[in-house]
Chains A and B, each alone.
Chain A
Amino acid sequence: DAGVIQSPRHEVTEMGQEVTLRCKPISGHNSLFWYRQTMMRGLELLIYFNNNVPIDDSGMPEDRFSAKMPNASFSTLKIQPSEPRDSAVYFCASSFITGAPSYEQYFGPGTRLTVT
């Protein structure tokens, strides 16, 4: 199995530019999660989708961030305009949630974003 695929792995951009991060979840999983990881704040959930529908976007920092999941095999996280404080590693994760009290999340390798 290919696992969760993210692209690009590294992104360096200038302040004010639009950034689009991409994720392909594991085939058959019904839930997808976007996280941001920084030294200061650790691993934070930004948004998650269940069956392609956004369920909880309370972690999205502000209107500059948006996420879409047009189908079960693709999601994007967009930042427009980007700011230096958006610099972080962004992870995508997927799961198959059945209603059991716990489930495993499978993480992608992350996208390291640097905004100068």
Chain B
Amino acid sequence: TQLLEQSPQFLSIQEGENLTVYCNSSSVFSSLQWYRQEPGEGPVLLVTVVTGGEVKKLKRLTFQFGDARKDSSLHITAAQTGDTGLYLCAVRRGKLIFGQGTELSVKP
């Protein structure tokens, strides 16, 4: 059983559409991170959320940490082709543990 369940696993949309991806768990975490991995590169940290209910915005990306600190969502407004990549959530349990990721493809 995965500690972090990410959904959907794959998502293909047209440029300009909005989308939301999810990271869920039955465990409570003190913080949660979102990374983006572009093809042929390593993951890059986008944001860290630490407070239940916290909302952080990074340009067109909105991250929310669930009130109970068990889950998180990433919403992208007006997706662009440059948003294409693998979106990973991660939590620290001694070491950093990653979800399986959501593979996003934004087509022109």
Contacts and interface: CB of A to CB of B under 8 A. Distances in A.
Given A56-B94, A101-B30, A102-B31, A109 B45 contact: no
Nearest to A47: B95
29 contacts: A33-B95, A33-B96, A42-B98, A42-B101, A43-B43, A43-B88, A45-B96, A45-B97, A48-B95, A56-B94, A56-B95, A91-B42, A91-B43, A93-B42, A101-B92, A102-B33, A102-B48, A104-B33, A104-B48, A105-B43, A105-B45, A107-B42, A107-B43, A108-B42, A109-B40, A109-B41, A110-B40, A110-B41, A110-B42
Interface residues of B, number: 21
Interface residues of A, number: 17
Contacts of B92: 101-102
A43 B91 CA distance: 13
Contacts of B48: 102, 104
Contacts of A91: 42-43
Interface string A78-116: 000000000000010100000001101101111000000
B50 interface: yes
A82 B45 CA distance: 31
The 9 closest A-B pairs by CB, nearest first: A107-B42, A102-B31, A43-B98, A42-B100, A104-B45, A102-B48, A101-B30, A91-B42, A107-B43
Interface of B: 30-31, 33, 40-45, 48, 50, 88, 92, 94-101
B97 to A, nearest CB: 8
Interface of A: 4, 33, 42-43, 45, 48, 56, 91, 93, 101-102, 104-105, 107-110
